[in-house]
Structure 1
Amino acid sequence: MESIPPEEGGVAAHCVRWRQMTLYGVFTIHFSPNVPSRCLLLELLDVSVSELLLYSSHQGCSLWVIQHCARDVLEALAFLHREGYVHADLKPRNILWSAESECFKLIDFGLSFKEGNQDVKYIQTDGYRAPEAELQNCLAQAGLQSDTECTSAVDLWSLGIILLEMFSGTKLKHTVRSQEWKANSSAIIDHMFASKAVVNAAIPAYHLRDLIKSMLHDDPRRRVPAEAALCSPFFSVPFAPHIEDLVMLPTPVLRLLNVLDGDDLDSEEGYEDAVEDVREECQKFGPVVSLLVPKESPGRGQVFVEYANAGDSKAAQKLLTGRTFDGKFVVATFYPLSAYRRGYLYQTLL
């Protein structure tokens, strides 16, 4: 449930259409007689970017996850900004993974406003706050009004910080407050990218660096708009997910490892019997839409199970991991539905 000011109800109505976010209902709660709050009952989402950062153990997220997140959030912001709205509270906790839609979605429009029609109020979260928002907040606390209104550019600043944290695996709240950052933020970003080992991905990593820099100009007029940022070369490079990504980000497709061996694959009769046994076991958790067991590489011996919904897939992953199947310990991860339906099986998962 998200609470937003009554006058900003249009934001939610528009956002429902982005990536098919499901809105189940709208209702009003009166916390005090003269301050009604409009509440939205939205779909239940999964892991947040904040949790992904926590589980990355300061190593940073994979380029596959960063690219996925950046593209999804930029598409959301491009839509919001075209409609004239500013999110105004972009941070890792407000970006969540949708297992059903296989994308990241934005939540929490409690601070959002119509561009050009903003009352002076405290916006954005410390650590992800654009310089012009910092100035406006200070003036508002002093009872003064800023001569410069905050625009959609504040959202791009926040996203730039989020992407830099995802890459570095480090919280940057104190860094962006430092005098060194104020003096030369570009050099600090360069140092982060130069010191981070990125296997076989030097050029795409530099594309990401340039994209982040374009979002973090102190002058909001120089920041890249969301629509233009989607044209970055960073989005033209295909990446494969790491094994940790396939464990953390649920989808309707389950991938089972260490289930079938060479004997099962080389014998036609043994293959059919083994596949039927796996199907029967997997159907205990919900209807199986399709099941694929490649006999050749890539994917040889792996079992791909597509469920009707991500809830069944999550239940299966939880209960099948560590189970024994014909004397072998099963490893269960999720698998990108879009790749599965294209018949694309990743050969190497780092």
Structure 2
Amino acid sequence: MACCSGYTAKMSSPKVAAAMAATSGAIDSQSSPVLFEIYGEIWKVHARLGQGVSASVYRVSSGKVTSAVKEFQADAQGGDYGYLKESSVLGKIQGHKNIVTLYGMFTNQSPVGVATHCLLLELLDVSVSDLLVRANNQGHSMWLIQHCARDVLEALTFLHREGYVHADLKPRNILWSAEDECFKLIDFGLSFKEGHQDVKYIQTDGYRAPEAEEQNSLAQAGLETGSGCTIAVDLWSLGIVLLEMFSGIKLKETVKSQEWKDNCSAIVDHIFSSNALVYPAIPVFHLRDLIKSMLHNDPKRRSTAEVALLSPFFSIPFAPHIEDLVLLPTPVLRLLNVIDDNHLYNDDEYEDVIEDMKEECQKYGTVVSLLIPKENPGKGQVSQAEVYL
């Protein structure tokens, strides 16, 4: 579905992770814009959320609407290839819940007269890269790994059916949406139509499939690289991401080692046996087999995203840990252990508690709904109080 040139204003839920990013990415007024004029409206820049070689990403707001702007710099030849590339791909793959939403495209005129091309995007929250940093070398819960794996595989299934290869899947390009409570893919600057690869160097070191590594080496030597890589490179990258989420450690040096190249399956087995006491056995085996199906050196033997979603790992119901609820921002405010059983069985007291809770929550925003369960699960807890700021 092609994206229109305008955009639909969209209210954002509280952005806890974005606020944290703002603290570490304070705006440098000499190199970052303070305002953007987007379709006749002035948007204030609050923070620079990320900066790469070709583009910077900012958190911006206009009134109560908060979004992200990706501002592209001119390439080495003074052109706008990066902007044209990403806007073209994003415009054609809109409509899937696990892919970042593109609201529109515009040109920004700086005070010194320099024009830059920009994308107005959905503002997302914490990245898988951030989650790995906070893991402190301990693996994430099965619920979190399963949630991320399913969301990314559903995005890849859609993307691959449309004929596109993401070509830069990594923890930094998988972000959590507090509003939609799911993970989404971002950054399609290296993406291409399968069979029509128009970028020589794809994927990031540490998440690069063997065939992409070989292709990059040939390109550096000035040699012909053949027909290009396939959708299988995305599955390799996801396999590494999930292995890092399970182990809690970055594996860049591991996957560059000769031991990995000789027998990566044995290293995967070793990583899982080392964490065997932390997780239930059966889910661990299913996750291990799912990851190994993505890490065959031969791309033709790798699982597809569609087939990977049929793994027994996704048939097991997991519940989030309290650490997961802290790590992932959500529009649902959950208050625990605030009342005792005596209040639950007296109708008058129960209604009073409901009113008291609603009044307290309204200090922070509009309460969309509120529920205090009288029976398990959740008995005595105030849950599903959705507070929008």
Measured in 1, the distance between the counterparts of 2:307 and 2:91 equals 24
SS in 2 for 1:97: strand
Measured in 1, the distance between the counterparts of 2:123 and 2:130 equals 16
CA contact (8 A) 2:197 2:227 kept: no
Number of corresponding residues: 306
Percent identity of paired positions between Structure 1 and Structure 2: 69
Stretches of structure 2 lacking an aligned partner (at least 5 in a row): 1-68, 73-81
CA contact (8 A) 1:85 1:114 kept: yes
Stretches of structure 1 lacking an aligned partner (at least 5 in a row): 313-350
- Counterpart amino acid of 2:201? Y
With structure 1 as the length reference, what TM-score do the two structures score?
0.82
Q: Which moved more, 1:175-184 or 1:37-46?
A: 37-46
| Structure 2 partner of 1:226 | 305
Structure with higher RCO (Cα < 8 A, 6+ apart): 1
CA contact (8 A) 1:6 1:37 kept: no
Q: Structure 1 residue aligned with 2:223, among 122, 141, 144?
A: 144
RMSD over aligned CA atoms reads: 2.2
- String of CA shifts for 1:172-194, please: whole Å, max 9, x gaps: 10111111111111111111111
SS in 1 for 2:296: coil
Higher share in helix: 1
Q: Structure 2 residue aligned with 1:163, among 221, 239, 242?
A: 242
Offset at residue 49 of structure 1 (A):
0.5
What is the correspondence of 1:59-98 to structure 2 with a 5 Å cutoff? 59-98=138-177
SS in 2 for 1:235: helix
- Quick check: 1:241 aligned with 2:312? no
- Quick check: 1:17 aligned with 2:95? yes
SS in 2 for 1:285: coil
| Structure 1 partner of 2:128 | 49
Offset at residue 306 of structure 1 (A):
3.1
CA contact (8 A) 2:100 2:186 kept: no
What is the correspondence of 1:236-315 to structure 2 with a 5 Å cutoff? 236-307=315-386, 309=388, 312=389
| Structure 2 partner of 1:132 | 211
SS in 2 for 1:60: coil
Measured in 2, the distance between the counterparts of 1:113 and 1:213 equals 26
SS in 1 for 2:368: strand
CA contact (8 A) 1:120 1:140 kept: no
Pick closer, same or farther for the CA change 1:191–1:18 going to 2, 3 Å. same
Offset at residue 139 of structure 1 (A):
1.7
| Structure 1 partner of 2:84 | 6
Pick closer, same or farther for the CA change 1:22–1:238 going to 2, 3 Å. same
Offset at residue 38 of structure 1 (A):
5.7
Pick closer, same or farther for the CA change 1:212–1:38 going to 2, 3 Å. farther
Q: Which moved more, 1:260-269 or 1:48-57?
A: 260-269
Measured in 2, the distance between the counterparts of 1:166 and 1:37 equals 37
With structure 2 as the length reference, what TM-score do the two structures score?
0.74
CA contact (8 A) 1:8 1:113 kept: no
CA contact (8 A) 2:196 2:227 kept: no
- String of CA shifts for 1:94-128, please: whole Å, max 9, x gaps: 00001111110000111111111113521111100
CA contact (8 A) 1:286 1:307 kept: no
Offset at residue 150 of structure 1 (A):
0.9
- Quick check: 1:113 aligned with 2:192? yes
CA contact (8 A) 2:124 2:175 kept: yes
- String of CA shifts for 1:211-261, please: whole Å, max 9, x gaps: 100100111111111111111111111100011111111222111013112
- String of CA shifts for 1:118-166, please: whole Å, max 9, x gaps: 1352111110011111111122222222135111111110000000000
Superposed structure 1 runs of 4+ greater than 6 Å apart: none
CA contact (8 A) 2:361 2:387 kept: no
CA contact (8 A) 2:364 2:387 kept: no
- String of CA shifts for 1:58-111, please: whole Å, max 9, x gaps: 111111111111111111111111111111111001000011111100001111
- Counterpart amino acid of 2:253? H
- Counterpart amino acid of 1:271? Y
